[in-house]
Structure 1
Amino acid sequence: MTSSAPSLASALLNPRRIALIGASGDPSRVTARAQIYLRRHGFDGDLYPVNPRAETVLGERAFPSLAEVPGPVDLAYILLGTAQVEGQIAAVAAKGVPVAAVLADGFAEAGPEGRALQDRLVAAARAAGVRLLGPNSMGVVNLRARTACSVNAALEAESLPAGRLALVSQSGSMMGAILSRGAARGIGFSHLVGTGNEADLTAGEIAAMLADDPEVDAVLLFLEAIRGAHHFAEAARRAHAAGKPIIAYKLGRSPFGAELATSHTGALAGSDAAADAFFRAHGIARVTTIEALLELPPLLIGRRPLARPRRAVGVMTTTGGGGAMAVDCLGVAGIEARPPDARAAALLAAEKLPHHGRLIDVTLAGTRPERVAAALGALLAAEDTDLALSVVGSSAQFRPHDAVAGIVRAAEAAGRGGKPVAAFLVPQADASLRLLAEAGIPAFRTPESCADAIRAYCDWRAPRAAPPLAPIAHALPAAPDEADARRLFAAAGLDTPFAVAADPGALPSEARFPVALKILSPDLAHKTEVGGVALDIPDAAALQREAAAMLARVRARAPAARITGFLVQPMARGLAEAILGFRRDPEVGPLVLLGAGGVMAELWRDTTLRLAPVTEAEAREMIAEVRGLRPLAGWRGMPRGDLEALARAVVAVSRLAALPEVAEAEVNPLIVGREGEGVIVADAWVVRA
């Protein structure tokens, strides 16, 4: 490569010299599409079809090999079958091509043999300094530069609107689907990149490049898995610094969706709650509907995350039923449609507009643009809401200019830095949607996507500054039992008293009775199920009798389990039980979990997650999010629990992120005492990585 070679971002996102390896002269074949689309949409760079069996391909000069292409190449798109891809990497490397995109599938998603083939492909590319896009990639589209280097059938359209939204999609088909959905509403894209299996270049790495691009205002992600979490974290930091939102739609909210995402591209899936925690920590807004992925950007572009979201909106409507739908969906999403406060009510009264209740219905008061603008202006003045929403009825379909004029006026009066104005159009009203898109006003086609987008706006945060990760000096045995888990938690800062005995004869005779007795074994995570737990033992004699009986029970019910002794601890009483856990998620890394604990923890799933480690302030936020722990704050006159001790316990467990040998660890239950009494580890478990 010469010193004038393009940067990686330029070669990938704006290639000017493209080689199509395996280009077909048969227009009906998929391998002909990239050349057809590049020319159809106006690519004016240099294009080199590579086909050893043809002198021309679709009317353009072809080359028998990449080596015979004159001059440098920015991007090579390998259109050959799976078995032929590996052999082309040497040619790409010899030519000095910085980026190669691979269309073929049959790699990691196809099983062990495909995984091995993909690994060889990556190793060869890295050894030669070539970056790979894919395999299973539908290529790269840059609509502002008229570069449609893709085989996606959505590019059959004669024209596509260029815009300032960029999309990175792990699914090639969804790349085209989102492009076509946007085009139907006048929403244009700057770039669309299909990353496929992400054997090398990840969606996060490409998102970081797009965040740096001056022609991009927001980056959209369609994800099946989070690969290279550190790349997403870096992209989010760069995007936030540039004032550009990153918005993600991720599959895997159900076990079935996670299974399909895994099988599609060979990804290793983590939990959806972990993905939520990851996006939240890094300031990536997450939507759950594909409509909201397109509709949310105008709400975020040019804004910063709310410092103190009120999770409330003011709603004005020209259709009672449509307004009620919006209020209902917002409520399900955790967003309140709030009645006007005193300031907003006074402004509404001055305009002789209704100002009672959660829904300001102006239908009878008149829907002329000046009246709509006045009503929205009053709602924008409220001090206890985050947004003003206009719900528009049939006029949006039949009188689009009149229907949106008042909304546009209100938005212009508020200014870009003011509280946002948004609109939900109840009928199918494509012209009104286009007018609002041109004005940069968030507009929603369904009440569900409206609620989803507004919820995502209120959830949006700035990327968190992770606290420093202090080392923990502790050696974890190869096969840890509960006593080992307790010693680990004590090393992290969560210590409660216990005693260990190798056999019934060595049990302590002096103890603070009554006590609990448990069998110790690295093989028994659920000791109660095999009779390995006894509570409220009153004295030393009873302790010895129970230990002998317990040993016999456990050996009978779990004969293969290794028995390492007994654990004795004082019985503890408290106000509540919590579950406190740590896990290394395969997608996002270390996490800490807090929830309502005890034997029902797995059933109720009343939990919250954060990336680990956390600060005490973050731990307090977690405590407030668990419904089962809210009584500890003194709810309805109940005694207050030691929430500060609980917060310190969360911080302590989150510090296990410093020990890579810990895969999972759990305290369940953690007993929370009254204020000032602290917390007590009732049961503990750890799993080595």
Structure 2
Amino acid sequence: MIRENMGGTNLLDALLRPRSIAILGASDDPTRIGGRPLAYLKAAGYAGRIFPVNPKRETVQGLPAWPSIDAVPESVEFAILAVPAALIIEAARACGERGVKACVVFSAGFAEAGPEGEARQAELLAVARTYGMRIVGPNCLGLFNATDGFYPVFSTSLDRGLPPKGRLSIVSQSGAFGTHLYWLAKERGLGMRYFISTGNECDVHVAECLRALAEDPGTGVIMAYLESAKDGPMLVEALETARRNGKPVAIMKVGRSEVGAEAARSHTAALAGADAAYDAVLRQYGAVRARTTEELVDIAHICSHGVFPRGDRIGLVSISGGIGVLMADAASDAGLDVAPMPEATQARLKEALPFASPRNPVDITAQAFNDFGLVESNLKLMAEEGGYDGIVVGFSSVAGSPVFAEPLLAALGNVRRSHPETLLIHSCLVPDALRLRFEAAGVPVFPDPSHAVEAFAAAARFGRAFAREERPAPVLPAPADIPRRPLGEHEAKRLLAEAGVPVPAERLTGSAGEAVEAFRAMGGRKVVMKLVSPDIPHKTEIGGVLLSLADEEAVRAGYATLVERAALHAPQARLDGILVTPMLEGGVEMIMGVQVDPVFGPLVMLGLGGVFVEVMKDVTLRLAPFGEEEAMAMIGELRGRALLEGARGQAPADVAALAKALAALSRFAAANAGAIESVDVNPFRVLPKGQGAVALDALVVPRRS
């Protein structure tokens, strides 16, 4: 019997909402791996049918036991395989024969255990495919559905009580770390919907689960832990589905890897390594990446309140000038706008609190002790007249005082209710019971003021992503005819020019006389001369570029010099000729490139040239293809973008031309992803505004096989 694998909602039905479950390897001891799921299912009051399978017992934990799944008299939709690895294939095949829709395999000893284990895991997947049965694992801690009391999991974190029901769902490649996240979220007061640990991912993987959760009406916030993606395009689809549905995905991607020595020969490859690729894709498709466990939980915490500002203007209020400065620093680090209050509003605040600092941060000082009603009125003024997308209030330990706790709770609750669109966050030190009351009033609490500000920044990133209008996919050109051999600069530029990337008017010459003719044709202006050889990709290393040649004699001598240097330093190299091109000066030097990532496909890189890319690595990345609007967003992310805007008295650069070229490069990359390994356009000169931009050098590396 063969059934098609299910996806989306059907996947969640099979994995987390079955009406019956068999436990192969069920134990009467509720502390053992095969006994824990049964104990949790009973404690949660799971409404479906439970069938312990154990040939050595007639009952298991008070329920009738069956010698094999074949002997179970009713249909079984889900099975736990908690038997030794050597018995898993036979057990999985028996489940398939019984029409089981999905299994979770606890057992280790598969791909993580070497070649023999890899073969066993491949066989397990083959069995699953034969019967159309989904497999979670192997080497997997399990999963659970807190809403329905379904607990095929053996985590000891549940020994301290089953999770409260809620709208947070977690998917993790690591079971132990996933339950670590669950417990931290529970301590914050977050209720659970689903938990899925994917283990070795022989079949079900994180991206597929993310896609299903993005479509699940009962999931409001998604937290994920990822070491690597089995299916890059599906991960992109999952993130875009979540963004479109307004569901925040907070994700921790670990396992940074170094780019290999071969790839390091390309600027783009060295700067667009594996971790940079994930970082770019997560940002591009609306997820927020956390670097630490606490940050990951902070993001889920703030998102659970469901307020996602569309802007980054933040108001800061504190009862301590020091806390205000700390929060302002954190806001600056996060790229937020700490705009001052309007002058008229500052005047009214000053009138009510003469010793306060009303600008932003607003320091209300200890005067608030005499009249806590001023806190509410001042916050409402900020919300109504300050134009802030969110306000962070820092009251430290004052908020926990028996004298001030109730009036402060009332004040913040009133502001939250009267301005539901403004994200109001409280940084304070209070007992858990009081913290939960602030949270219930819609005011998330963070003990650390900096973390409170960073949480606002994450919520605002989601808000901007959710508000982004759908952009039609760029129309791709027909694939270029790219030969499977090394290409010289002239040939590379021709391919890019046909794709819409501007290149200078230049000539490839085969003699000194032709070079002089090219010089004359260019009006006798200064020219650059370059060696062109598919075997010499880095010409400058052998002196293969001559600049500022201003007369015919210099051009003639330059031709001879370049041919000489090629013969001296690369005698076996094929020489296509000498390129003569106008000498362009002024503008801003950039670098653009493409690296075809093995997981996601072609990634386009943009950076400021020279020291910015070599030392500071001031670059940004996007998955191709994209349009000019996204290209403009890339330009805006560069730390050194002020150079393009006309820093130090220089004329503003033609940013529109840069965006147009970058979008064209992305379309070329997407159309030819199967034929290229990388592209380097370095330098790419952006001329003053209105004068365009041009690729001064280019390298296209075709795919070798």
Question: What TM-score, normalized by structure 2, do the two folds share?
Answer: 0.86
Instruction: Please give the alpha-carbon distance, in whole angstroms, between the structure 1 residues aligned to 2:64 and 2:306.
Output: 49
Change (3 A) 1:628 1:214: closer
CA apart distance, 1:592: 1.9
Pairing 1:200-211 to 2, within 5 Å after superposition: 200-211=203-214
Partner of 1:357: 359
* Aligned pair partner of 1:623 in 627, 635, 644: 635
Q: 1:385 is paired with a residue of what secondary structure?
A: coil
CA contact (8 A) 1:581 1:592 kept: yes
Given residue 320 of structure 2, which amino acid in structure 1 is its aligned partner?
T
Pairing 1:216-255 to 2, within 5 Å after superposition: 216-252=219-255, 255=257
CA apart distance, 1:431: 2.9
Partner of 1:127: 130
Q: 2:667 is paired with a residue of what secondary structure?
A: helix
Q: 1:30 is paired with a residue of what secondary structure?
A: coil
Pairing 1:15-34 to 2, within 5 Å after superposition: 15-34=18-37
* Aligned pair partner of 2:411 in 389, 406, 409: 406
Q: 2:151 is paired with a residue of what secondary structure?
A: strand
* CA displacement, residues 603-652 of structure 1 (integer Å, 9 cap, x when unaligned): 22112222322222222232233233423323454212222221211111
For the pair 1:488 / 2:495, whether they are aligned, the reply is yes
Partner of 2:660: 648
Given residue 338 of structure 2, which amino acid in structure 1 is its aligned partner?
A
Pairing 1:651-666 to 2, within 5 Å after superposition: 651-656=663-668, 657-660=670-673, 661-666=675-680
Q: 2:328 is paired with a residue of what secondary structure?
A: helix
For the pair 1:192 / 2:195, whether they are aligned, the reply is yes
Structure 2 segments unaligned to the other structure (5+ residues): 261-271
CA apart distance, 1:236: 4.0
* CA displacement, residues 348-400 of structure 1 (integer Å, 9 cap, x when unaligned): 34644735233322342225653332222122123442201111221344545
CA contact (8 A) 2:26 2:53 kept: yes
Q: 1:365 is paired with a residue of what secondary structure?
A: helix
Change (3 A) 1:407 1:554: farther
Given residue 382 of structure 1, which amino acid in structure 2 is its aligned partner?
E
Q: 1:441 is paired with a residue of what secondary structure?
A: coil
Partner of 2:88: 85
Pairing 1:468-547 to 2, within 5 Å after superposition: 468-481=474-487, 482-496=489-503, 497-501=505-509, 509-511=517-519, 512=522, 514-538=526-550, 542-543=554-555, 545-547=557-559
Structure 1 segments unaligned to the other structure (5+ residues): 259-268
CA apart distance, 1:668: 0.8
CA contact (8 A) 1:327 1:336 kept: no
Partner of 1:174: 177
Instruction: Please give the alpha-carbon distance, in whole angstroms, between the structure 2 residues aligned to 1:127 and 1:541.
Output: 76
CA apart distance, 1:658: 1.5
CA contact (8 A) 1:168 1:194 kept: yes
Change (3 A) 1:583 1:111: farther
For the pair 1:103 / 2:115, whether they are aligned, the reply is no
Instruction: Please give the alpha-carbon distance, in whole angstroms, between the structure 2 residues aligned to 1:134 and 1:232.
Output: 19
For the pair 1:684 / 2:698, whether they are aligned, the reply is yes
Partner of 1:150: 153
* CA displacement, residues 539-559 of structure 1 (integer Å, 9 cap, x when unaligned): 566556545554554565456
Pairing 1:107-506 to 2, within 5 Å after superposition: 107-109=110-112, 114-115=117-118, 117-252=120-255, 255=257, 271-297=274-300, 299-300=302-303, 306-307=309-310, 309=311, 311-342=312-343, 344-345=345-346, 348-349=349-350, 351-352=352-353, 354-367=356-369, 370-399=373-402, 401-415=406-420, 418-425=421-428, 427=429, 429-460=431-462, 461-462=465-466, 464-481=470-487, 482-496=489-503, 497-501=505-509
CA contact (8 A) 1:101 1:133 kept: yes
Instruction: Please give the alpha-carbon distance, in whole angstroms, between the structure 2 residues aligned to 1:502 and 1:74.
Output: 74
Moved more, 165-174 or 587-596: 587-596
Instruction: Please give the alpha-carbon distance, in whole angstroms, between the structure 2 residues aligned to 1:182 and 1:493.
Output: 50
Q: 1:358 is paired with a residue of what secondary structure?
A: coil
Change (3 A) 1:352 1:207: same
Aligned residues: 672
Change (3 A) 1:492 1:52: farther
Instruction: Please give the alpha-carbon distance, in whole angstroms, between the structure 2 residues aligned to 1:158 and 1:148.
Output: 12
Give the superposed CA RMSD.
Answer: 3.3
Instruction: Please give the alpha-carbon distance, in whole angstroms, between the structure 1 residues aligned to 2:537 and 2:87.
Output: 49
Q: 1:145 is paired with a residue of what secondary structure?
A: coil
CA contact (8 A) 1:298 1:440 kept: no
Given residue 468 of structure 1, which amino acid in structure 2 is its aligned partner?
P
Instruction: Please give the alpha-carbon distance, in whole angstroms, between the structure 1 residues aligned to 2:143 and 2:134.
Output: 14
CA contact (8 A) 2:509 2:515 kept: yes
Instruction: Please give the alpha-carbon distance, in whole angstroms, between the structure 1 residues aligned to 2:557 and 2:409.
Output: 81
Change (3 A) 1:437 1:235: farther
Given residue 699 of structure 2, which amino acid in structure 1 is its aligned partner?
W
CA contact (8 A) 2:190 2:301 kept: no
Pairing 1:576-595 to 2, within 5 Å after superposition: 576-595=588-607
Given residue 21 of structure 1, which amino acid in structure 2 is its aligned partner?
L
Change (3 A) 1:518 1:97: farther
Given residue 567 of structure 1, which amino acid in structure 2 is its aligned partner?
L
Partner of 1:266: none
Given residue 480 of structure 2, which amino acid in structure 1 is its aligned partner?
H
Given residue 79 of structure 1, which amino acid in structure 2 is its aligned partner?
A
* CA displacement, residues 417-452 of structure 1 (integer Å, 9 cap, x when unaligned): x21111112x36433332233233222232343232
Instruction: Please give the alpha-carbon distance, in whole angstroms, between the structure 2 residues aligned to 1:106 and 1:566.
Output: 61
Partner of 2:684: 670
For the pair 1:572 / 2:584, whether they are aligned, the reply is yes
CA contact (8 A) 1:606 1:627 kept: yes
CA contact (8 A) 2:604 2:624 kept: yes
Q: 2:640 is paired with a residue of what secondary structure?
A: helix
Change (3 A) 1:395 1:471: same
* CA displacement, residues 558-607 of structure 1 (integer Å, 9 cap, x when unaligned): 56766555433232213110011122333333322211013652322112
CA apart distance, 1:524: 4.0
Given residue 77 of structure 2, which amino acid in structure 1 is its aligned partner?
D
Q: 2:700 is paired with a residue of what secondary structure?
A: strand
Partner of 2:265: none
Given residue 592 of structure 1, which amino acid in structure 2 is its aligned partner?
V
* CA displacement, residues 284-337 of structure 1 (integer Å, 9 cap, x when unaligned): 233444334333346445757555x2x231111133433333222222222243
Change (3 A) 1:590 1:366: same
Instruction: Please give the alpha-carbon distance, in whole angstroms, between the structure 1 residues aligned to 2:113 and 2:378.
Output: 58
Given residue 361 of structure 1, which amino acid in structure 2 is its aligned partner?
D
Given residue 415 of structure 2, which amino acid in structure 1 is its aligned partner?
A
- Fraction of identical pairs, as percent: 34
Question: What TM-score, normalized by structure 1, do the two folds share?
Answer: 0.87
CA apart distance, 1:177: 0.9
Instruction: Please give the alpha-carbon distance, in whole angstroms, between the structure 2 residues aligned to 1:96 and 1:64.
Output: 18
